[in-house]
Structures are given as structure tokens and as C-alpha cells.
Structure 1
Amino acid sequence: MGDLMNEPALDPPPGVVPNFVDTGGSHAIGYGIVIASSIISTVAVLARLVSSAATKRFVLEDYLLVAALGIFAGNQYITYDLTIYPGVWAHQWNIQNNFLPHFLYNVHLGAVFYGPVAMCIKVAILVNWLRIFVPAGQRNTTFWILHTLIWTNIAFYIITTLTEIFRCSPREKIWNPFLEGGSCPVDIEAQNISTSTINFISDTTILAMPHSVIWRLQMSRSRKWGLSFLFVIGIGAWAFGVVRTVYFVQLLKSSDVVYEMSGVAIWTIWEVTTGFLIMGIPAFPRAVKSLPMSESIASLFRSWSRSSQPGGSRAGLPQWQLYKPKSRRRRGLWEISELETQELTSMRSTDGINNSISQVHVELATENGIGPNKLQIV
């Protein structure tokens, strides 16, 4: 057994000599991905919390994001551990059998962490969509679609997490291929395929839902593009989920588990990080605005901009040029700063299926120094 533990975890290709010291894995890429995604996710959640604190109202989505970030931290730790050794994109024949149980144990923990993280983020997004696009007390088509997605995701991720935890008896057989006896009745490959399929369907629906509602609103096309732009980050989560599925299919076909698992881990991290951004990006304008000295810094930049212009001094200008009447500037297309979920203005949209009128709640906030303008379209 001792000799077996010192052998390569996979037979190398002809002519390749295993190297257990320099595994060929990249450490810098792994460190960069873990650190960058951790910072981005944390900043996104903090922006959401600061925005909610500015309105003195925390909602369910905020608590779900905090829970997701805490669980995601555990996933980041085990990814960082595997980045130290053997590194990302290392081949399995460059590690010994005695390291394989440690690697598979971390993979198991990553699978256990993924379910709750994905569930918390997706439920937070869907509840937020419910708060934005469905008025209180209404039971329209959007309401039932969102509720179906919410409860389907909750049930699915709870079941798959429990089956991942208890799929083998004894549990050590999950990560120790050298353990004799025991059994693993759960077909983990079929479960992972179904997880990837459910992820694709739910991500596609989450991506399409806000746009389908926005483009039915009775408003100008430019304003529709502006609102859609706020939700476009969902394309990233959808794309990363698709790439993750591709790498997972390759993993099922390959015997080099260590190498292919790097692709699954990397794109899973970016998929989750983009999920945090979907909730965090709309909160950035309010969060920045509520920070101390934000107005002073903005005024300083404006003064620098004026002074840097040719003829920045106004002393020599004629009196008629010094006077400029104050006018309310028309808001530009990309100046929609945040979709508020606390104080929502009623908009009406026409349902293309039954021609009924459904309420859609959206607030368009501006930064004109006076206060938010609320736009009502009938």
C-alpha cells in the first residue's frame, strides 16, 4: 500500500515523466482568480448593504446575499488551497496517490458549497425581480413564473446538496478511492448533468425575465434600452454557466480529473461572482452617493474640470456671458442610476397574451441635486 500511495495518480502518456514537485499547474492564475473574484463579490454585497442602509430598510435579498457570500468564502478557501498545490491546470499524473484523497475531499466540499450559494443568489435575484416587476397583491403571469422559479430552485438545490453529502456509505468513500467496502448508490454523474441543465434553464429565464417585461412597457425605445442595460450583467452569469457545463461534460469523458476540474472550478467561481454583481451593480450609485465626502469630492472634480478648460477664469467675460439661466436638463439615456425596490413608481404595461394591463413597479432615480424624479407612464 505504501508503494501504491507514492505512485502517480494517473498513468502518464508515453514518453512523459511525472514531476511531483513542479506539477505544471499555474499558481499565479489561481491566486489572481480567487483574490479578484473575492474582492468583486464582497464589494458588490457591500454596495447593496450600504444602499439598503441609506434607505434604512433591509429586505430579504440583503440577508440572502450575506449568507451566500459567507458560504462562497468557504469555497474560495478550498480553491486557494488547491492553487497552492498542485495549481490550476495541473495534470493528474503529476500528483501522487497519497494526495488524491485530499484533492477529492476539496472537490466534494466545493460541490456541497455550490448548492447553497447558487440557491441564495438566485432566490435573491428572483425575489428582487418579484419586488420590482409585480405590484403587491397582483397575481399575473410574471408573478407565477417567478414563484415557480423560486420554489423550484429552493427544492432542487436542497435535494442535490443532501444527495452530495450522503451519496456514499460510509461518507469517506466519496473522497477516498482506496477505501475498501461501502457503496455509493447515487449516480453522481447523472445528478451533475441535471444540475447543469437546471442551471442553464434558470439562468436563461432570469436573464430573459426583466427584458421581456421592460420591452412591453409603454415608453420610448431609448428608455427601454436604458432600463435593459441595467440588467445586461445577467448575460455574464449565463455565459459562465454554459462554459462551466462544457468543462463538466469534458470532465465526464476524461480520466484526467485533476486537470479538467480546474476548468469547472474557475468558471463556477465567475458564474457565482457575476450573480453577486447582478444584485450589486444597481446599488452602486446610491451607495457611492451615501458615502461621507462624496458630494465634496464630486464638487472638487467639477471645479478642476472648469479650471482646466481654456479661459477657465471668468473675470474677463462679458456680463451677458456670465449669466446662464438655470434649466432642468433632460436626462440622458445612460443616466438611469438605480432601480429602487423601496419606493416604486407605478408603470403600466400591456400583456401581449391576454391584452390585460399589469402593474410594473420601477423607479428611475436621477442625480440633479434636487431629489429623485419619479416617472409615471400610463
Structure 2
Amino acid sequence: MNPRVMFWVPALLRLALMLAVAGIAWWLLGPVSGLALALLITLGLLISQLAYLHKLGEWLDDPQSTKLPDGWGAWTDVFARLYRLRRDDERNRDELTEWLARFRQAMHLLPEGVAIMDDVLFLEWCNPTAERHLGLTLEQDKGRRVTNLIRHPEFIDYLILGRYEQPLTLSIRGRKLIVQIIPFENRRQILVTHDATDTDRIEAMRRDFIANASHELRTPLTVIVGFLEIALADPGLDEKTRTAHLMLMTEQAQRMQRLIEDMLTLSRLESDEYPLKRERVDVRALVAQVANDARALSNGRHEIDFAVDGPDVMGSSEELRSAFGNLASNAVRYTPAGGRIELRWLRGPNDLRFEVIDNGIGIDEQHISRLTERFYRVDKSRSRETQGTGLGLAIVKHVLLRHGGKLAIRSTPGKGSVFTATLPNTSLPG
């Protein structure tokens, strides 16, 4: 039924009832009594309407569906409609609040920085990532002009010129940021920031790795190809020369093989496809094997001893043997003949330790922080003599990281070095 009809029909019926009652009083008691009764009924209706208007006014001051008053007559329908409208409004508000909370949570978790500005560049909101990237604090900087907060000439020019099709690259607070403005609505703009520092670093590492690996492989390949060309060009080489060439080619081929094996090992250690498989490691047997391998590499040129004064651990026996073996072989390669090398497994105050102590050539302090970089060498000519691949300490670092440990290096040029691989006490068998 039409809402207007629903309103006027009951209203006219109530008016007709009031007139009928007044008419009956007129007929029974006389005109004065009839008019007086009609006036009283009208006054009562007026007072009730004013009372409902007062209640409506009070409710509008604090419009909650649970506090809506009951009504009589036409007010019943009015309050019922208001109740439905308020319930719908509260439901929509609850949904909006929930979505706003989800939006803020998502913005807080975004790895990208997001800041919202008005049309005159006053900051309205930003997420924690934008605070870190741009050095902002939302509580303090909200309502302030962004150009006063980020005083970078290139950034200010970017904002003023309004050429937002392409992002802007900035160096802020020691980080490389990619910044872009996105117009939003008519009077707002979104500032998006992306930290490209780690991406650039990884890309630089990748380029260096490829360049270094190519260089390391090219040298032995050049030697092998050169000797093969000589052999093909002169089939009448004497047996002694041919044997010397074959020995050199074999040596270079073995070097390439070691290099490829180390690169594959390092790639596997860095891959998520090869999770760490923990098992109980017999450390005494492992250290003894590492010592035997070091003696074989030394070929009697060094005095090599080992001592085990610590418990077994949980970890990958193969990976730990690779790490400990690389530390021991480095000591052999960089300790002159007649030197002493000691391998020790012990329990420290707060950790477990494998130490390799030598009295070799030592390392200058300026090189120590870079020793675990791929292909980093203190002395390239000596590294070629010792047949190292330049990846041994990088492998050690990644093995220890997978086991929750770390590598510490102490060295004095001309006196020797101490390489300490530490594992946490959580590596102990349960």
C-alpha cells in the first residue's frame, strides 16, 4: 500500500473518532460540554505530539537503535522506519569499520610505503613502511606539508612539475627508493615508495658472481684448449713434453671440477628446495675424518692435530663436514710448510665451537670482513698456487646460517689465524 495512504487513513479515522465522541457529548450534555471535550481531546493529542517530538529530539542527540522510544498512532510507523534506518546504518557502519580495520592491517603489512596527501600536499596518513622509508612519524607529522618533511630537491621538483607518469629514484637515509605519485580522487594523492636497495645489491652480487665464475672457468679452459691445440698442431711432441702437458691439463680440469662442485653446493645451500635434514652427528668421527683429509692435502708438510671435548649435535653431517673441511683445507693452503694446525671441537659458555688454529701467514684486518664473499681473495696469485676455488668460506657461512650458527675470524699477519664456527646450544640432541 502507498505510504501516504497508510499515513492518512489512520489519521482521518482518529480524527473522525474524536469528532464522534465530541458529537455524542454535544448531544447528551449540550454544546458547551461537547466543545469542552473536543478541546480537551485536541489538547491531549497536542501534548502527546509535543512529548514524542521531545523524545525524538533527545534520540537524535544520541541516535542508537536500542534507545529508540515506542510510539502511538502515526508515531509508531515513524519510529519503526527510524529503527530500520538506524539498524541499516549501524550494520553498514560496522561493515565499514571492519573493512577499514582490514585495510589498515593490510597497509601496515605492505612492504611498500604508502602515504596519502591532500591536493596541497599535506600529509593525511601513511603506513609504517613509509615512515621508515621517508623518516616520517604519523602522530607528529600528520597535517604538515610533505615538502617540509622531505627536503630533497629532486623530490620537490617531481611534486611541483607533476609529471607522475614515471617513478622517481632517490637516495634517502642511505637507501635507494623508487617513488611515485598516484592521483587519487579530486583532492588527494597517493605517494608510493619502494626500497630497491636490496634488489640492487642482489643484482650486483649476481653480476659479480657471473663475472667471477666466468673468469675462474676461463683460465683453466684456456690452458686446456692451448695444450690441445699444441698437441694437434705438432703430433710429434716428445713423450716428456706430452706427459707434462697432460698433467697440466688434468690439474686444470680438476680445478674446474672443484669449482663447479663448489658452485653447485653453494647454490643448493641457498635454495629453499633443499631444507635442512637434521640427524645426530657423531662429531668425534666427523672431526677425525676432517683431520685425515687435511693430512692428505698437506702430504706431510704440516703438523695437524685434533681434539674433541664436546657433545654430538643435531644437524646435517654432510654439510657440517663440508664447512669444517673447508676451514681445515684453508689452514693447510695458507700455512707454510713446517707449520702447525690444530682442530678443536669444544663446548663454549653459550654455544658449541669448532676451531681451526694455525700459525700461517695471517690476514690483514681490512680483509677479514670480506672473506666470506664469493671469489674474494686476499692474494690472488697465492690462491692460484694453492688451487683454491674462492668459494670455501662462502660455503662455510651458508652452512652455519642453515644451522643457526656463525663464523668468527681472528688473525694476525705473520703469526696465524683462528677460524671459529659456532653452533647454538639448540643443536644439542633432545
Same fold, TM exceeding 0.5? no
Task: Give the strand-richer structure, 1 or 2.
Answer: 2
Task: Give the helix-richer structure, 1 or 2.
Answer: 1
Instruction: Compute the TM-score of the two structures, normalised by the length of structure 1.
Output: 0.26
Q: Which has the larger radius of gyration?
A: 2
